[in-house]
Chains A and B, each alone.
Chain A
Amino acid sequence: AQSVTQPDIHITVSEGASLELRCNYSYGATPYLFWYVQSPGQGLQLLLKYFSGDTLVQGIKGFEAEFKRSQSSFNLRKPSVHWSDAAEYFCAVGGGSEKVTFGTGTKLQVIP
């Protein structure tokens, strides 16, 4: 069965600092990987996704993620965080079926 682990429940960073959110997955074949963001009171919005090709994926709002097969990871990064990035971030894995499994989320707080 496929699964996703986001080991950090909460992360606090200063505005302007770099950010890395961790995601580890379990999947029997080549995974399709996603990062979604949820602003307070809103639905989820796709930041980026990986399904093949270049293992470094660029997304919206200046985010990027790197797929590392050897580590079963798909960590999300941003070089300089803005106050508007405060939200909850979800990693997800899918592939070969219509179902996607979401992680439990990492809540990001940005301090001035």
Chain B
Amino acid sequence: NAGVTQTPKFRVLKTGQSMTLLCAQDMNHEYMYWYRQDPGMGLRLIHYSVGEGTTAKGEVPDGYNVSRLKKQNFLLGLESAAPSQTSVYFCASSMRREYADTQYFGPGTRLTVL
């Protein structure tokens, strides 16, 4: 069991470039999440998905898009990167139960936008 994996681990972009971050989980979890982590701000939810083919906005969705075409994968896209999107991005997943459910996190992707 690999758990939650994220690709790539590091990336440097120039302003205006686009990229896609891939999250994969092998635990058959229904729920998946994308967070960004910035110093002094904790984790903020970008987008989440409650099942294959569904996505929803979180706390800070602007400038990001997501897709969940397969249950095990959750993609985060940046169409036109901005320096404000420099951050560490974490993917997480949890089972279908909404209440008190543990989230399992990937190791993170460190993104720098110049």
Contacts and interface: CB of A to CB of B under 8 A. Distances in A.
Contacts, number: 55
Interface of B: 4, 31, 35, 40-45, 48, 50, 58, 90, 92, 98-100, 102-103, 105-108
Interface residues of A, number: 25
A30 B42 CA distance: 23
A45 to B, nearest CB: 7
Interface of A: 9, 32, 34, 36, 41-46, 49-51, 90, 94-100, 102-105
B43 A90 contact: yes
A103 B42 contact: yes
Contacts of A42: 107-108
A100 B44 CA distance: 10
B50 A98 contact: yes
Given A43-B107, A97-B98, A104-B40, 19 more contacts: A9-B40, A34-B102, A36-B105, A41-B107, A41-B108, A42-B108, A43-B105, A44-B90, A44-B103, A44-B105, A49-B102, A50-B100, A51-B100, A90-B42, A98-B48, A98-B50, A99-B58, A102-B42, A104-B42
A98 B50 CA distance: 8
A99 B99 contact: no
A43 B42 contact: no
A21 B40 CA distance: 16
A23 to B, nearest CB: 12
7 residue pairs, one from A and one from B, having the closest CB atoms: A43-B105, A51-B100, A104-B42, A32-B100, A102-B43, A44-B105, A102-B42
